[in-house]
Structure 1
């Protein structure tokens, strides 16, 4: 039933239904839900933003502390290398062994005067050597830049020193010396304040087998004192990047479960409790700073050897207040938008309520107005949120014409948003770049799926790397694709960090290769020749670039473990004893231990670890067989054996390559016969002839 009211037809049934209290409550629920949803969305957005900022801060802190930890670890390594020159000197080792055997009072030795005829000839001979050894020790200290050096016997008595005064921390040095005598490992004293600044002591065992060839023992301890004030300043200096100017760096040290820390000014402060979350870890998280006065984001990188005395960590701290202040503007903007949206919704709800008390037509008009305003409000909300997103976003129609871009997109290309609308990709990015970008558009239009690519774009004369996701947008009714929504994610810093990491790994490989060559030129030459053979075999087998990179790196580093095998075993001409063979086979374990923490992103360590395995399971170290041995290790095994046999040695001339191939073919139970066949074919080519010539003319192992 209907009637005419003021010239308008009104359905009474409709009016009755719209005037029911249930409709009012339904509207209230909708409004409250929208208000709640706006604040929930704001809360989620803020949480995601803060999480992203924390991840970026963590990346910066990790890169910062990694560099400082590497620098400090390298400094300790150079100290160890310098000390090795002295403690491995036959002159000092023999004298230390004789002092250890000396039964008299060490004071008598120090004050004894050499005579031609004396009842205590041992004392006279030893004391007669002291001036010469003290002169050598003085020269060593000056050459290596140490403050002083002392040599202490097994009874904790100093019998040779460049500094006549007793060290002020003699009690601690005696305790550390006892630990060195017990386990034969070096020790580092806690950093301490000295008269000339920060000082640290290094204690190295002096091992001799002069009086007992079967049981070498620690007969003395070399104590080197070093001024490290300038090193601490370098390690703990502030970052030169503006983003990290508020980051503070400390060196935390632990000795006998007591903690202290050193700041960039060289001040040492004790810690009342352990800052570590577990035995030796200080992961990135919010915690009190080392002074206990404020909350900070901090992370610690371990330096040196675990369980050594003391243990050091490079700790970087970034104030939580500064971090929170930096994101406060985003928080305020987001909640302001949510509050504004809520006010708009509440206002519209009030208007709707007011219109409900009028006629049916007014109610209908109010409902339409409310719907319109809600849509407009949602549009403004989406526009506001879109404007706050830092990633460039665009929408182009099926013909590639841009119909919408967000402020971040306009800023990236250096244009106003309204000047971009109606242009195609070529007009914005240039013809060549547009051609690459349009490939992903065509794929998305053709497949109807999200297409993600990585592109290099030059924007405002600067190169950027973007991860671009192209999503097809469909018509709500026809479900036809009407355009493409593109989201550009800037991954420039991420890729630069990855490239930095790759360069660090390559520098590590180069350093290890140089160490191999300096340790034993034969091993270095073997690695290079072996790498040449493995590379040409890999190319002939059409291996992928990652596989080729794995083989080349593994070949260069394959001999690194042999630096720790006694030279007399490496150069022995006769057959090795079972004990010597077991010691020789330990080189793969040494190599694995040295290389395990390097992030190759390739199975380099596994290839080196398996290259001495054999197909019949009679290799080492794990006795793998058949398909359990990787293709890289199989190639390296053949290249290693080929190079070892084809090169001349001090006790034999080079074996002809044809005989080497015959040997490999005669042992299919050990070597992959298919790879041997590839190598055999290569040796018939000019490349193979050059390899054979290189083998025959390579340096003889001395």
Structure 2
């Protein structure tokens, strides 16, 4: 037997061992809790950033639509002058006259009689000037004039117009040379901010000859103010319009635009005016760091920048992370308490001491419960725990608010007494599936709240009965969370509707340039839907084929109409212009946010499997699969369509032609043949 000294030594060693084990358990548990918290914190941060970026993108899309509508309206306004027969005839008559005569024709009534044809033209000046002046005043323009190839004002709303600045003169000459609309950067003026626009004027008798330029000065301060009206994301978000002037980016403000900070200007230049969502300097000098994002308007060379102070966004992130901090602290405290209890029990054998410790732990746990309850009250997600019989064991206040009830009227109640019958049936089925399969489940339900039908995303997790002998036997129900996703779903539907409207507009425009294209895109889309299902394409693949089919002819909007409708053989130069259609389609669609490879599919639609296609002579697997499908559909629909110079082929004959042509993907052709054997396929092919 051990003597008293050995017994004391053994007792001390046992206590130290127990203490070290408890400390080790506390450290390990703390490390585990810390790692779990870090993972959840990153997930919460990413979720907040993604949702905020979606809100900003939606606002920018709306603002972009407003700017594009305004720009289109201004274009129509300018064309009323530049396409007017009166001004085209007047400019054409002056085009061949001596520059000295053309330079004084606008003030002919003050300078006296002019020789020859100029005298006749000078008599017309007062009348058409009056019309131009009324047009300028009615539409709120600051200046309106016609400028000739020498940079001379040949007609102005004012009898004594101000001279053109070198920048205005250069822009007018550029428009005369290229025949394209030119925009100067917004400038300061006595009337605020002004935008100078130069529109080509073509001769009435020779429509291909540019004989003058219509220059209009548009006040834009009120429009810029409208476009940058305070966003609705929060009270601290702002928006600013910036413009590119050569290599410098400027913020539009009165009395005149000012350069943005150098670092931001470089980033705008690097991204061609389209800033991705991220943290950077503010547009305003001294504005600090902001989370910003922008959209660019080609031609105008404007970029609309949405900004939110860094502190505001980080505050949103912190509020989302706060419950994670609280849960992590509570978990670590719980492990610490368990470790302390083990240490206490290691050397304290008396029942009285254990009872005292349990009472102390009960007090701490009560405080923990109070803290958890306070965290639970701050959550906006409905939570409840229900068993497989459909009884709600416990719920949080957010769920009671969703159901329009008091918390005490929900706990311990059956699901069917709290939820509508359809929602309750679905929830009970999912709870039982969770209990049977021991895995997470999800669904969506509709609930009436405040007189409105709201959509909720439901996620269910299994919970265990601690007294069970096995995992399968211990599962007794599910923990259910409910998140209101009504607004998110509405935004998604609006975005899909905008995409549908955009595609329909392009389709109408496609058919307007070539009468033979009427119905071509719709036929491709109908066959593409059936063919995608036959080939087993993914949802993204099917959407890419159908949307690509609707936009398949969009590149032809930029091809001269006379080439598309020409009945004879095209010259090599004309054929080269027609082959530019995929490039035009790619440039038009590459910045449209479809979340699908639509632009690439349109770009590669005319590539051939043997490398003989265009524009990049890709071959085989180098070509996007959806582009290969569009290539087969485009060729088939063209072959079965009648033209003025030929009758359309029979569908089976067209397929045989495709099967004997190495340019097309034979796998796609075989699937198309299978589709055409079905009633639906034949209806689509002949529609």
TM-score bracket for this pair, using the shorter chain length:
0.7 to 0.9
8 Å CA contact 1:108, 1:123 repeated in 2? no
CA RMSD of aligned residues (A): 5.3
| Superposed counterparts of 1:161-560, under 5 Å | 161-167=156-162, 170-177=165-172, 180=175, 186-205=181-200, 220-239=212-231, 244-262=234-252, 268=256, 270-271=258-259, 273-274=261-262, 275-276=264-265, 278=267, 279=269, 280-285=273-278, 289-292=282-285, 295=288, 297-305=290-298, 311-319=301-309, 363-373=353-363, 375-448=365-438, 450-460=439-449, 462-473=453-464, 475=466, 478-480=469-471, 481-483=474-476, 484-531=478-525, 549-560=543-554
Aligned-pair CA distance for 1:576: 1.0
Aligned-pair CA distance for 1:262: 4.0
Aligned-pair CA distance for 1:593: 1.6
Q: Which runs of 5+ in 2 are unaligned?
A: none
Confirm or deny that 1:574 pairs with 2:568: yes
**Alpha-carbon spacing, 1:611–1:283, altered in 2? closer, same or farther (3 Å):** closer
CA distance in 2, matches of 1:285, 1:253: 20
Normalised by the length of structure 1, the TM-score is 0.75
Aligned-pair CA distance for 1:574: 1.3
Q: Once structures 1 and 2 are overlaid, which stretch shifts more, 487-496 or 526-535?
A: 526-535
CA distance in 2, matches of 1:352, 1:629: 67
Matched residue SS, 1:202: strand
Query: What are the Cα deviations for residues 532-566 of structure 1, in whole angstroms up to 9, with x where unaligned?
Result: 56567668888787666544433332221111111
CA distance in 2, matches of 1:486, 1:362: 41
CA distance in 2, matches of 1:473, 1:344: 19
8 Å CA contact 2:25, 2:339 repeated in 1? no
8 Å CA contact 1:391, 1:409 repeated in 2? yes
Aligned-pair CA distance for 1:499: 1.8
**Alpha-carbon spacing, 1:342–1:486, altered in 2? closer, same or farther (3 Å):** closer
Aligned-pair CA distance for 1:582: 1.3
Aligned-pair CA distance for 1:314: 1.8
Confirm or deny that 1:65 pairs with 2:57: no
**Alpha-carbon spacing, 1:615–1:61, altered in 2? closer, same or farther (3 Å):** closer
8 Å CA contact 2:252, 2:258 repeated in 1? no
Which residue number in structure 2 is paired with residue 8 of structure 1?
A: none
8 Å CA contact 2:260, 2:283 repeated in 1? no
8 Å CA contact 1:260, 1:270 repeated in 2? yes
Aligned-pair CA distance for 1:578: 1.4
Aligned-pair CA distance for 1:189: 2.6
8 Å CA contact 2:387, 2:431 repeated in 1? no
Q: Which runs of 5+ in 1 are unaligned?
A: 3-10, 695-702
One of 578, 589, 593 as aligned partner of 1:595: 589
- Count of residues paired in the alignment: 668
| Superposed counterparts of 1:27-106, under 5 Å | 53=48, 55-80=50-75, 83=78, 104-105=99-100, 106=102
**Alpha-carbon spacing, 1:200–1:398, altered in 2? closer, same or farther (3 Å):** same
Aligned-pair CA distance for 1:584: 0.5
CA distance in 2, matches of 1:74, 1:30: 66
Matched residue SS, 1:620: coil
